[in-house]
Structure 1
Amino acid sequence: MTDAALAAELAAGAGRILLALRAGRRLEGKALGAEADRQANAFLCEALRRERPLDALLSEEEKDSAARLSAGRCWIVDPLDGTREYGEGRDDWAVHVGLAVNGAASDGAVALPALGLVLRSDSPASMSMPHRRPQMLVSRSRPAPEAEAVARIIGGELVGMGSAGAKAMAVVRGEAEIYLHTGGQYEWDNCAPVAVAQAAGLHVSRADGSPMRYNNPDPYLPDLLICRQEWARPVLAAFASL
């Protein structure tokens, strides 16, 4: 099985676990989110250690190990991206399974279980026609001031959405033109989405235009830009002017 196929199979499997748990209605609120993270993480980590025993692993829900830093291949996973949305019964949450090879997002899959979708790096999505005004995706609860300012400069329209994976995949699917995030993320928040977005032909970079790099000693990543190619230069210029 190829790395991309494995990522897709595991993201879909974790998604089924999460849907079944939510449908069971035994838990709610924080308890539901905690159990969802636990079950999905256990499934993903066990499978990756079985299927790719020589690769390193970085998960939001696992204790980190410095041993991964010497590995050329590191799987980076988020068992449940958008715990709040998941617990509220919304659709905009995701499962991320990504692979970084020598620091670059190489392969990956993002499952949107509530929508019945798995987007993968070996099967690029076809994008729809752009909107008249560029749609810029932001947090539905606390849009970053920088994103609001960039939207004003380029004439964009802000659209609130839940998880990072859901926002990134909305651009991949052609539902929006731009996802600019400046509020801080971690590698597991965007490794898989970046792999999928790159494969779809989108622009992917840090907010200053520098490349995304993974399997760092500190997995914190302050910012991210995923957008249609025609909007990369205007967005980067607008951000640089702030």
Structure 2
Amino acid sequence: MRLVLALLAALAVAPTAFAADPAPAATPAEKAKIEAVVRDYLLQHPEVLVEAIQKLEAKEEAERNDKAASAITAKKDELYNDAMAPVAGNPKGDVTVVEFFDYNCPYCKAGAPILKKAAAADGKVRIIYKEFPILSPESELASRAALAANLQGKYLPFHEAVLEHKGKLDLPTLVTIAKATGVDAERMKTDMNKAEIDTAIKKNKALARSLEVRGTPAYLIGNTMVGGQIDVEEFAAKIADARKKSAS
């Protein structure tokens, strides 16, 4: 679909010789001739497609950011003041990074130490974790266990250990991780089924929909949504940009 849209955009910027005055519908032979001319033009000028794709992506990103900005304003309390959402980094930081993640997402696993490093290097970043289990039933099991660990004040060590784990995240594995990170495993198993944890996960999923989060990881940095894994330098740049915008 992206390529089709790019082709349409390319046709829009093609020389006017390709445009026709309003006239009866072209015959199949005429259509074939026009398509051949357009194809030849695009093969000779592939940069037109690159430019069209870049413009399309910029337009889509701008539209997403506009929608996200409205949702951020409407959902401000749920984003930043939810008592069930674990917090890391500097609790009094002047820039907040909200992360939507899934424990079975390889990009979330790879991105976790990058975000941690970027926040530590800055020193004034608050991180809010939004459990967003969308990849498998095991993902939800892990999120329930993590939120149960949070009720014991042991979220961060458990969270990091689960992200570092390679392999299945079934209940016996989560119990083993709990014991290794100082979490009361029996209490965790009981708390995993609490109504407040049900509610927290449902709220996170609804919040993600309102922000048009379609995958993991997704980061809200200031008022900008960023999807996918990013490096330390990009985190630093976006954090600095968010700080600058909040100060202006």
Higher strand proportion, which one?
1
Q: Which has the higher contact order (CA 8 A, sep 6+)?
A: 2
* TM tier, smaller: under 0.3
Higher helix proportion, which one?
2
TM-score after normalising by structure 2: 0.22
